[in-house]
Amino acid sequence: MLTRPPATLVLADGTAFDGYAAGFLPEGGLTMGEFVFNTSLAGYQEIITDPSYAGQVITFTYPHIGNYGVTPLDDEAARPWCRGVVVRDLSPVASNWRSVGELEDYLIAHEVPAIVGLDTRRLTRHLRAHGALPGAFGHGAFDDVAAAAARATGTDNTDYVSSVSTSTRYSRGEGQRHVVAYDFGIKTTMVDQLAARFRVTVVPAATTAAEVLEMAPDGVMLSNGPGDPAALSGLVEQISQLIGVVPIFGICLGHQLLGVALGGRTFKLPFGHHGGNHPVKDLATGRIEITAQNHNYALAADSLERVHVSHVNLNDGVIEGIASPSTRCFSVQYHPEAGPGPHDARYLFDRFAALMEND
């Protein structure tokens, strides 16, 4: 049986949890970040590799993680961007015909630290009650971990997009319509959904509106991404120059940035939405969609005077979609590409195609 060194997790408010070190063991034995929880029952590899988790430590509420192994086919980015993972029971056995290895080996290869064997239910309940909190974990002395937790910071007012975005343009798909997709932390599954319908050029987040328009796009996609939209005023400025000029579809962070460009403002949710089973209502049709979500920030309802709200979250009333027909743009807070998660909302990519057809 594998022997793991004891480890401790400490949140910024002093709450402590005992567990064992797993995955990659960093020099100094300490990992810091903002702790959030994800309620998905499966899709752990897609979650770990979602760039939207940059700066964060992911707590899996499902107790048994790693049982079906890993495969490159499930990577949502070239590497994980999360700071670390928290797991109740990390499976030592991978059993699935698609698997090419075990999750722990994957974490080690990509230098992702983990802490296992602790009470993830207690941790999740604490985060629900007190909100996403910065903190630290490690296999060093308790005082060292506690000191690291005290100086750990959250994601507020921090630009993580410039770190996770591609540095060069690349293209996918062969459709007649040309879509330029901003990479704010774009997921592979999102690129795949676009490429199945359009000719796609993925561009760095720092690309200007003028450079985008030089590519003569039929539409522009604003992707998901990590961090606080309030720290991304430069991106908002470029998006503002595209509104009304070309059809726009935003997802997650792209939704928030589009909303701000249209005069809205954002705020931080207490513990965010991270999971694969959030019910969302389409206000135009009354249809209920089960959606995958991963965000800590949202648009404030009283700030949206230039758009109409198209979708709302049935759990807490958070705005899940906006639209501005006069300027040919719309966006959703959730993930219609859903990797992992339900596919109820994939029709939105076809809605984007229809918006371009009617341009």
Domains of the chain: 6-151 (3.50.30.20), 161-357 (3.40.50.880)
Asked about 278 being catalytic, the answer comes back as no
Question: Which residue in the list 34, 46, 126, 252 is annotated as catalytic?
Answer: 252
Is pLDDT of 135 > 60? yes
Token digits of residue 326:
């006069």
| pLDDT value of residue 1 | 53
pLDDT band at 358 (very low <50, low <70, confident <90, very high): confident
Looking at every residue in the chain, the average pLDDT score rounds to 96
Burial class (CB in 10 A: 0-12, 13-18, 19+), 250: buried
Contact partners, residue 90, CB within 8 Å, separation at least 6 = 22, 65, 66, 103, 104, 114, 116
List alpha helices for the chain, DSSP H: 44-48, 103-109, 120-130, 142-151, 161-164, 188-195, 209-214, 233-240, 253-261, 347-357
Question: Which residue in the list 76, 104, 320, 337 is annotated as catalytic?
Answer: 337
Q: What percent of the chain has pLDDT over 70?
A: 99
Q: For residue 325, is the peptide bond before it cis, meaning its omega torsion is within 30 degrees of 0?
A: no
Give the pLDDT confidence of 209-251 residue by residue, as tens digits: 999 999 999 999 999 999 999 999 999 999 999 999 999 999 9
Arithmetic mean of pLDDT, 303-307: 92
Q: Which of 2-6, 187-191, 295-299 is the least confident region?
A: 2-6
Arithmetic mean of pLDDT, 21-44: 95
Work out the angle between the directed axes of helices 253-261 and 233-240 (0-180°, nearest 10). Answer: 70
Asked about 329 being catalytic, the answer comes back as no
Predicted model pTM: 0.96
Radius of gyration over every alpha carbon of the chain, rounded to an integer in angstroms? 20
| pLDDT value of residue 339 | 78
Asked about 335 being catalytic, the answer comes back as yes
User: How many Cα atoms sit within 13 Å of 13 on the Cβ side?
Assistant: 11
Give the pLDDT confidence of 41-97 residue by residue, as tens digits: 999 999 999 999 999 999 999 999 999 999 999 999 999 999 999 999 999 999 999
Alpha-carbon gap, residue 269 to 106, rounded angstroms: 31
